[in-house]
Structure 1
Amino acid sequence: MPTDARRPLYKKWAVYGSLGVVLALVVAGRAHWVLGIMAGLLAIAARAIQFAPYVPIFKRFMVGADATDSDGPNSVSTSMTRSQAAEILGVDENAPVAEVKAAHKSLMQKMHPDRGGSPALAKQINRAKDVLLG
């Protein structure tokens, strides 16, 4: 069997073997310390992920991720017409400033990334407001 074909098989064996060991420990009543260690490592890993952007070795990966995110199909185009901006905000092209700001505020409250919206959509909404007010 070629080496490339063995890799998935080894991974599968490792997963099933690990599950078998954990199951055997649970049945024998000895899993409490293993699961405690795993819970502690999970907590440490969660905390480490928060600080990953500040560690120099991880900055390479973060910069690469940002570059790929902005080049995707959902990235915001830099040129937007007034009609496109009005359509995004759901207002008329010649809407008063207060109406544009109210529409922007309403959409951002629904589509902000902190509330489950996408960053690309938030950028597009902000760009639409800038085009109509600029």
Structure 2
Amino acid sequence: MTFMLVLSASVIAALILSGRAKTMQANDWLAVAIALLGVNLFRGGNWVMGSGLVIAALAWSGSKLLKGFGQSKPEVQKPRSFELDRARSLLGVSDDADHAAINSAWRACLSEHHPDRGGDEQMARQINRARDILLEELKANNHR
């Protein structure tokens, strides 16, 4: 019984630490539970039932549990095109603006709308977010 508790805790901890637990669905968790039950039966001497349950759980879940372990970093969600268009129009920069142009436009807009100078705090947040979106997109395009 202690072995099963340690094994179960280890499997769940590995799934949580790897980040896979966030994306797992109910079928995936059920496959993990069946596999752990199969290991327990296998350990108890019922080799046929235990190995059958483990193989069934692996076949049921497919390679979804192992998918992603070989990836070095998770994909960053790119901003949608309308977010980019809105950010460009808010700062008044063109599609091919570089880092310096984005920062220059950001400074000009923020100095005009900064809350310390009587501007709107929400507008200042939008200006900052627009700069962040454009710089992230610029960085993503430069790494391709």
TM-score scaled by length of structure 2? 0.37
Ranked by relative contact order (alpha carbons within 8 Å, sequence separation 6 or more), the top structure is 1
Q: TM-score, normalised by structure 1?
A: 0.40
Which structure has the highest helix share of the two?
1
